[in-house]
Amino acid sequence: MLIQNLNLYLFHIFNVPENASNFMMSYATFIAHDLIYILFIMFILAWFIGNNKIKKNILKAFIFTTITLFISELLSYVLNTPRPFVMDIGETILVHAPTGSFPSNHMSILSGLAFSYYFSSQRQFGKLLIAVAWLVAWARVYVGVHFPIDMFGAFFFAFIVNISGLKLWNIYKDRLMEWVMIVHRKVFAFLINKGLIQ
Average pLDDT over residues 132-158: 97
**What confidence tens digit (pLDDT) does each residue in 4-31 have?**
899 999 999 999 998 999 999 999 999 9
8 burial type by CB count under 10 A (0-12 exposed, 13-18 middle, 19+ buried)? middle
Spatial distance between the Cα atoms of 108 and 65, rounded to a whole number of angstroms: 7
> Both ends of the chain: CA-CA distance in Å?
54
Q: What is the pLDDT of residue 195?
A: 87
Spatial distance between the Cα atoms of 133 and 110, rounded to a whole number of angstroms: 5
Could you tell me the pLDDT band of residue 105, with boundaries at 50, 70 and 90?
A: very high
Closest to 178 in 3D by CA, of 52, 66, 65, 64: 52
Q: What is the pLDDT of residue 159?
A: 97
Spatial distance between the Cα atoms of 84 and 26, rounded to a whole number of angstroms: 20
Q: What is the pLDDT of residue 163?
A: 96
Q: Is the pLDDT of residue 161 over 90?
A: yes
Q: What is the pLDDT of residue 198?
A: 85
**What confidence tens digit (pLDDT) does each residue in 65-84 have?**
999 999 999 999 999 999 99
Enter the pTM of the model. Answer: 0.92
Q: What is the pLDDT of residue 2?
A: 85
Spatial distance between the Cα atoms of 145 and 15, rounded to a whole number of angstroms: 9
Q: Give the side-chain half-sphere CA count within 13 A for 48.
A: 16
Q: Which residues contact 97 (CB under 8 A, 6 or more apart)?
A: none
Q: What is the pLDDT of residue 3?
A: 87
The rounded percent of the chain whose pLDDT value lies above 70 is 99
Spatial distance between the Cα atoms of 7 and 195, rounded to a whole number of angstroms: 52
Could you tell me the pLDDT band of residue 151, with boundaries at 50, 70 and 90?
A: very high
Average pLDDT over residues 150-179: 96
Spatial distance between the Cα atoms of 103 and 73, rounded to a whole number of angstroms: 8
